Amino acid sequence: MIEVTLRFDAQFRRVTNSDERLLELPENCSLLEALRHSAENYAEAFSKRLFTSAQAVQPTILVFVNENMVNSQEADQYRLKPGDEVSLYTPIAGG
């Protein structure tokens, strides 16, 4: 198993009631698998915000692993390593 930290921004905090979560994942787990796994811990509103109806990552969510932006459409090919930090940023436009 590997441990990966998942970090939330303010809009995600509203549906998870937490700033971050430590995920225990199988070795060689993909980013998409990790996100789907994390969704099991939260209410439906979390999945609705993060995934499309086809269970892909919403294209308007910015996903970073450590300092690397990962194209949300390639989350199924991105392999996580022990200690990785995944940050999810929802689109914001407050002016």
Q: Does 53 bind another protein (CB under 8 A)?
A: no
Task: Give the interface segment with another protein, choosing from 25-33, 34-42, 75-83, 84-92 (CB under 8 A).
Answer: 84-92
How far is it, in rounded angstroms, from Cα 79 to Cα 94? 33
How far is it, in rounded angstroms, from Cα 87 to Cα 94? 20
Pick from 43, 55, 69, 81 the residue near another protein by CB under 8 A.
69
Q: Does 93 bind another protein (CB under 8 A)?
A: yes
Q: Does 64 bind another protein (CB under 8 A)?
A: yes
At its nearest, how many Å lie between another protein and the CB of residue 47?
Answer: 12
Q: Does 59 bind another protein (CB under 8 A)?
A: yes
Return the structure tokens found at 13. Answer: 């905090």
- Pairing outcome for strands 85-89 and 20-25: unpaired
How far is it, in rounded angstroms, from Cα 76 to Cα 95? 34
Q: Does 89 bind another protein (CB under 8 A)?
A: yes
